[in-house]
Copies of this chain bind each other. A is one copy, B any other.
């Protein structure tokens, strides 16, 4: 944090044993849930400083400024935590209208359809941009 001597707000988050918390991004205008990623203390501090979502990539074990390779930054309008302080909710504006590394508007594009033994996940969102043009971690 910039002027940050007071990190109480950051320590108020109930980070898990690995120092992480799940962080949702929700479109500030449409209300769509775009992504679920993870943050550690530094990711949240940088998100708030920068006004753009910075996550912790569990696969790459590194901070991940979303959009740094794709251009699809998430501009942060509001930051919330839940009653247990163990989950983070960002309301964001998604630059370019694509939040998912598959080139879709949002990551939650698979809907459960069918009945009984015939249930299956069906992709309901079109690919807006060729995947592979970017890879966000």
Contact = CB atoms under 8 A, between A and B. Distances in A.
Contact of A116 (B4, B30, B81): B4
How many copies of this chain are found per oligomer?
A: 2
A13 B110 CA distance: 11
Interface residues of A, number: 45
Given A31-B31, A82-B100, A87-B108, 17 more contacts: A1-B116, A1-B117, A4-B116, A9-B112, A9-B121, A12-B121, A26-B33, A30-B31, A78-B112, A79-B111, A80-B109, A81-B108, A81-B121, A83-B102, A83-B110, A87-B107, A89-B108
Interface of A: 1-6, 8-9, 12, 22, 24, 26, 30-33, 35-36, 48, 78-85, 87, 89, 100-102, 104, 107-112, 116-121
